Structure 1
């Protein structure tokens, strides 16, 4: 990386489903994965799902930032 260039992080995607019992969220898998997605929920609203995803992304950003600081 060039000196003075800020790193750009590529963050994971999330899948969201609305079911009769509420909103569910999972990290998607590829068709080559042998593991099915682990759905979390139900959440009461799209806002609740969005906040949960935001909290998970924040954890990932902070984890990567700490790793980069020690490299």
Structure 2
């Protein structure tokens, strides 16, 4: 393998190049109204053996939607944290995009091991 090939991935872009964007496909949620309020769960396939894990009851559709939004925000933050760590982005770079109080994992000190 040549040096040129080893530094490029399948589409010709350099592996160590900083990406121009990050895109995240998110999970779908199902909302259900019952006699005691609104309930939410991640959507599962009808042919799968998974059972939905319902959360609730929520007093209103707005609070159910806020619960979904919090879960999606957590999912995006976790995935984006992995992306910025993999690409070694710093807070000064425009695609860093996380607040200082978000979900970055603490680095393990090699001397503590």
Would the TM-score normalized by the shorter structure come out above 0.5? yes
Alignment of 1:1-71 (within 5 A): 4-71=19-86
CA distance in 1, matches of 2:24, 2:50: 25
Q: What's the CA shift for 1:44?
A: 0.2
- Where 1:9 maps in the other structure, the secondary structure is coil
The structure carrying a bigger strand percent of its residues is 1
Q: Which has the higher helix share?
A: 1
How far is 1:5 from its partner?
A: 2.3
Q: Which has the higher contact order (CA 8 A, sep 6+)?
A: 1
User: TM-score normalised to the size of structure 1?
Assistant: 0.88
Counterpart CA distance in 2 for 1:7 and 1:25 is 28
Any gaps of 5 or more consecutive residues in structure 2?
A: 1-10, 87-113
TM-score, normalised to structure 2, is 0.58
- How many residues are aligned here? 71
Q: Which structure would you say has the larger Rg?
A: 2
The Cα offsets for residues 11-60 of structure 1, whole Å up to 9 and x where unpaired, read as 11100001111000000111232121011111000010011011101100
Whole-angstrom distance in 2 between the partners of 1:26 and 1:4? 33
SS of equivalent residue, structure 1 residue 15: strand
